[in-house]
Amino acid sequence: MPKPKRLDLIHVFHFKAWDAAERKLVTSENQLVKSDDPLWAQSGLPKRDSIQVGQELLTVVSVVLHGAEAPGLPEKRLRVWQTYWVADRLTSSAAWAKVLGVVDRLLGRGDDAAAIVLYAAEELPGDARPALEAFARANLPAGRLIRVSDLAVRRVPARYAPAASFSDPSQAAGLRTTGAVVHGTDLVPAVLAEGDTADGATLRPGERIADLVASGPPKLVRAGGRVDVLVTRGGATRLALEDVEVLSAAPASQNSQSDARQVAVSLRVTVRQAVYLAAAQSFAREIRVLPRAPSDRGRGDQGLAVGSGL
Question: Looking at the structure, do residues 85 and 173 belong to the same domain, yes or no?
Answer: no
CA 156 to chain CA centroid, Å, is: 33
Residue-number span of the structural domain to which 152 is assigned: 140-195
299 burial level (CB within 10 Å; 0-12, 13-18, 19+): exposed
pLDDT, position 289:
95
- Whether 167 is in a domain gets the answer yes
pLDDT for position 69: 78
Domain finish residue from 166, 195, 224:
195
Nearest residue to 251 (alpha-carbon basis) of 227, 220, 287: 220
Q: Cβ distance 35 to 26 under 8 Å?
A: no
pTM (predicted TM-score): 0.47
Question: Do 15 and 133 lie in a common domain?
Answer: yes
φ/ψ of residue 22, rounded to 5: -85, 0
pLDDT tens-digit profile of 117-128? 888 888 888 888
> Is residue 125 located within the same domain as residue 211?
no
1: in domain: no
Residue 291 has pLDDT above 90, yes or no: yes
The identity of residue 291, as a single letter, is: P
Are residues 277 and 230 located together in one domain of the fold? yes
Count of structural domains within the chain: 3
**Does residue 4 have a pLDDT over 50?**
no
Per-residue pLDDT tens over the stretch 204-244: 678 888 999 999 998 889 888 899 999 998 888 999 999 99
How far is CA 157 from each of CA 30, 44, 160, 189, 238, rounded to the nearest angstrom? 50, 52, 6, 20, 59
Residues 132 and 188 in one domain: no
When mean pLDDT is compared over 17-21, 83-87, 150-154, 275-279, the highest value belongs to: 275-279
Is residue 50 included in any domain, yes or no?
Answer: yes
Average pLDDT, rounded, for the chain:
76
- Give domain status of residue 3, yes or no: no
Percentage with pLDDT > 90 across the chain: 9
Residue 97 within a domain: yes
Q: What is the reported pLDDT for 215? A: 92
**Residue 167 and residue 121 share a domain:** no
72 shares its domain with 124: yes
Same-domain pairing of 68 and 94: yes
Same domain as 290, residue 245: yes
CA distance 159 to 173: 25
Question: What pLDDT score does 20 carry?
Answer: 46
Q: Which pLDDT belongs to residue 68?
A: 82
Please indicate, yes or no, whether residues 116 and 25 belong to a single structural domain of this protein: yes
